[in-house]
Homo-oligomer: A and B are copies of this chain.
Amino acid sequence: MASRSYGQYCGVTTAVEQIGERWALLIIRDLLVGPRRYTDLKQGLPKIPTNILSTRLKELQEAGVVRRVPVMHCGLVYELTAYGRELEPIVLALGRWGFQTMGDPDPEDVVTADSLTMALRTAFRPDAASDADYELHVGDVALRVQVEAAALTVTQLSPPAPPVGGRLPGGEPQLVFAATPGIRHVISGELAPQDAVDADVLQVVSGAPSLLDDFARSFHIDAPSHRQVRAS
């Protein structure tokens, strides 16, 4: 295994040796949402081979990033250690960085509940957020998105996952809407919410469409000023 060493004595190198292997950071991304079972992770990462998943989980435990916890009612879950949770700002920053060059989705690309949850966290602007209670649908994924006092709470409705805090969201959402991947143009500010509705990128199921403006203010990632040049 020393053959995989980068041969340098440096903090960045150490970090990359611990979490730089293929799939590792995506496992961590999902675990940042909450503890997950092996099967949950496999479903959230549809293209990961099962042997890679178990290998990575072992390596991440070895590195002190992930912990294996037995759960009383049949089963066990993987969860981040305190050390692993320190990666949250880094993963969020990486998500913001990558967002800027996201193109259109491949036909085979999926949006999972955990990745969408983290995407909302990357885009959340506490200082610009107004209190609101949304229900967001993207493909098969349904999320309850609650903003209160500059704090974001995301609960997965479908597929259902236990809320992190332990409480289920009460009451009715003020706005229920569905989005296509084109919503990224709304998040980047290139497309106004009303125009997105007109272009069928967003669809209001119930509630006041004007709340979409609040949503767009609360969840925003600036488009890159340096016009990205990409060879196709």
A interface, CB within 8 angstroms of B: 2, 5-16, 18, 20, 22-23, 25-26, 29, 45-47, 62-64, 81-83, 86-87, 89-91, 93-102, 105-106, 108-112, 115-116, 118-119, 122, 181, 221, 224-226, 228-231
Contact = CB atoms under 8 A, between A and B. Distances in A.
Contact of A16 (B98, B99, B118): B98
Contacts of A229: 64
B82 A14 contact: no
Contacts of A13: 26, 98, 115
A60 B14 CA distance: 22
Given A62-B231, A97-B87, A97-B90, A16 B25 contact: yes
A11 B98 contact: yes
5 contacts: A5-B47, A7-B46, A8-B112, A10-B112, A16-B26
Contacts of A230: 62-64
A93 B35 CA distance: 24
A13 B116 CA distance: 11
A116 B11 CA distance: 9
A50 to B, nearest CB: 15
Given A12-B118, A14-B101, A7 B108 contact: yes
Nearest to A12: B95
A86 to B, nearest CB: 6
A102 B11 contact: yes
B5 A99 contact: no
